[in-house]
Every structure is written in structure tokens, then in C-alpha cells.
A = this chain, B = another copy of it.
Amino acid sequence: MDGLVTAVIQDYTSGRVLMVGFMNEEAFRKTVETGFATFFSRSRNKLWLKGESSGHRLVVKEISTDCDRDALLIRVEALGPGVCHEGYLSCFARRLENGEWVIREARAYDPETVYRSKQ
């Protein structure tokens, strides 16, 4: 995938999977060096420190890789109320129920308030 690996972000305490991002070598190095998860944004084509706008940074607790070495599992302490830019605790808020994607949880924060003056 053009030098990108999949990075699965999991809450260290609850075990909940929070999001999936992509890292290139530089993003991975930044993540290890700074202790904050840093991704490569495919849409913006640049490095992206998670939480640089919202303050909701991801503090790295443990990094694992898989047998193919094309995916990372990063267990984190998530700063702030939620990881998803839509206001949810996890980006995986939509569950499949009888063929439809349904959200069964409340927003953890109001994204309008958090992002309004920052983007």
C-alpha cells in the first residue's frame, strides 16, 4: 500500500478499538519518538498528529506488529472525551443490525465546539 501500514488504535484500559489510521515510516518514527500517535493522512498527503486540532491526543502505551509486518496495533491512553471527529468515543460507533448501520451510543462531546475555531 505505497509504503503505508494499517495502524489499529485500541484503548489500553477498556480494550475498545477506537480508530484505524495509516502510517508511513516517518509517522511511525514520530509516534515512537514522541509517544503520541501520528498518522499519515492519505487525503491531505501529510503527517497528522492525532489531536493537533482537538487536543484529543493518543498517548502510546504499547506497539505490536503482525506476522506480515503490514499492520500495527497501538494500545493507547486516549486524552479527551472521544477519538472520533463526529463526537463519539470510538470511530466504530455504527453497528450492523438487520442489514442497517445503527448508532446506539450518545456522542461523548460536541464536535462543533471542539473544532469550530480550529479548522
| Residues in A lying within 8 Å of B, measured CB to CB | 1, 6, 8, 10, 14-17, 19-20, 32, 62-68, 71, 73, 84-86, 88, 91-96, 101
**Known A1-B1, A17-B17, A20-B6; contact A91-B67, beta-carbon cutoff 8 A:** yes
22 residue pairs of the A-B complex, CB under 8 angstroms, read: A1-B1, A6-B6, A8-B8, A8-B20, A10-B17, A14-B15, A17-B73, A20-B66, A64-B92, A64-B96, A65-B94, A65-B96, A65-B101, A66-B91, A66-B92, A67-B84, A67-B85, A67-B86, A67-B88, A67-B94, A68-B91, A71-B92
Q: Give the chain B neighbours of A15 by CB distance below 8 A.
A: 14-16
